[in-house]
């Protein structure tokens, strides 16, 4: 099975917007592969630089390893080589290693390495975690800096030195000094990805820090708007960026911030709002109320 060489993955991702599709569930919360594939086929009309299957927006944290494998295989087959497909490696080191190997066998082009759950860890432990996963695969690996895997510049430099196939750094923390330090220290060695919830909000600032791309969850349900916003950011078109922030993104954030976990739930609600339902979210997430869904539908209709 041919994969994108690890050295080519980072530059490829840096060239356009990144898609993080939701994972479709039936009413009984089982994976609805047909609906998922249909969604990817619909999104394939729009140009992106990479697709991250079963990411955070894809509720990868609520899937079993066997389900992740099914979702990744469905994505690989549906995308059919048009753009790189990245698969998650998550949880503790042993599970993440297993998932990285399974992703390579499934034909994915890269790995998004999530923070290990629950336990706190020091910087040396995080380096060992990353080295174990990178060492288990020939695929390019993007490190997801967030929660209990937040790293400083020296740590990231040590990871990059030790792991030639560590190709990307996706930031979900939002510390400007740390990002500045990392980009100054590592330069072009890594591709930098804005990866905070509703990454559009931070995109102009992240571009100034060196991130040419970001993960877009809203691309799931307003793909044209998401791409227009991305192009405006890349072109430094501040007028368009600020208008889109005022007209859609800021009221959207107000709705998203009403409840913990809504950063993901609101994406499935958005799909319901555009008549492309993706089913419920799995616990521990909860769905939006009917009134909130109506508000979101109103917002989406304003930019349609």
Q: Which positions are catalytic?
A: 144, 170
The span from the CA of 301 to the CA of 288, in Å, is 18
Size of the site for ligand GLR (CB under 6 A): 12
Q: Contact between 212 and ligand GLR (CB under 6 A)?
A: no
Q: Contact between 203 and ligand GLR (CB under 6 A)?
A: no
| Smallest distance from ligand GLR to CB 146, Å | 8
Q: Contact between 145 and ligand GLR (CB under 6 A)?
A: no
**Residue located via tokens 């998203």:** 256
Pattern of binders to ligand GLR over 240-269, x per CB under 6 A?
-----------------------x------
Among 217, 241, 272, 293, binds ligand GLR (CB under 6 A): 217
Q: Contact between 197 and ligand GLR (CB under 6 A)?
A: yes
| Smallest distance from ligand GLR to CB 56, Å | 3
Q: Contact between 99 and ligand GLR (CB under 6 A)?
A: no
Residue placing its CB nearer to ligand GLR in the complex, 199 or 300: 199
Close Cβ partners of 275 (under 8 Å, ≥ 6 residues apart)? none
Residue placing its CB nearer to ligand GLR in the complex, 4 or 54: 54
The span from the CA of 97 to the CA of 91, in Å, is 10
Tell me whether strands 140-145 and 213-216 are parallel, antiparallel or unpaired: unpaired
Which range binds ligand GLR by CB under 6 A, 9-17, 53-61, 70-78, 79-87? 53-61
Among 14, 55, 110, 204, binds ligand GLR (CB under 6 A): 55
Which range binds ligand GLR by CB under 6 A, 24-32, 78-86, 192-200, 204-212? 192-200
Distances from the Cα of 57 to the Cαs of 73, 97, 262, in angstroms? 18, 22, 10
Pattern of binders to ligand GLR over 10-39, x per CB under 6 A?
----------x-------------------
Q: Contact between 220 and ligand GLR (CB under 6 A)?
A: no
Which range binds ligand GLR by CB under 6 A, 35-43, 64-72, 190-198, 243-251? 190-198
Which residues lie near ligand GLR (CB under 6 A)?
20, 55-57, 195, 197-199, 215-217, 263
């Amino acid at each position: 099975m041919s994969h994108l060489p690890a050295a080519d993955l980072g530059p490829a991702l840096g060239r356009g917007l990144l898609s993080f599709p939701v994972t479709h569930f039936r009413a009984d919360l089982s994976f609805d592969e047909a609906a998922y594939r249909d969604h990817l086929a619909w999104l394939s009309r729009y140009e992106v630089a990479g697709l991250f299957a079963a990411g955070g927006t894809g509720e990868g944290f609520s899937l079993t390893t066997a389900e992740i494998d099914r979702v990744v295989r469905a994505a690989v087959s549906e995308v059919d080589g048009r753009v790189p497909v990245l698969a998650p490696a998550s949880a503790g080191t042993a599970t993440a290693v297993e998932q990285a190997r399974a992703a390579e066998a499934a034909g994915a082009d890269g790995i998004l390495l999530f923070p290990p759950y629950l336990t706190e860890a020091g910087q040396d432990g995080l380096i060992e975690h990353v080295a174990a996963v990178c060492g288990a695969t020939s695929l390019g690996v993007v490190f997801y800096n967030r929660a209990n895997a937040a790293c400083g510049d020296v740590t990231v430099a040590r990871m990059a030195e030790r792991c030639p196939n560590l190709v990307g750094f996706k930031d979900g923390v939002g510390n400007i000094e740390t990002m500045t330090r990392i980009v100054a220290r590592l330069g072009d060695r890594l591709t930098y990805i804005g990866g905070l919830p509703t990454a559009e909000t931070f995109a102009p600032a992240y571009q100034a820090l060196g991130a040419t791309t970001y993960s877009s969850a809203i691309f799931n349900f307003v793909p044209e708007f998401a791409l227009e916003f991305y192009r405006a950011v890349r072109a430094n078109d501040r007028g368009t960026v600020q208008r889109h922030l005022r007209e859609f993104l800021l009221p959207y954030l107000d709705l998203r911030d009403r409840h913990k976990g809504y950063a993901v739930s609101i994406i499935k609600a958005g799909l319901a709002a555009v008549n492309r339902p993706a089913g419920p979210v799995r616990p521990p997430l909860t769905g939006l109320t009917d009134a909130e869904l109506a508000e979101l539908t109103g917002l989406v209709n304003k930019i349609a």
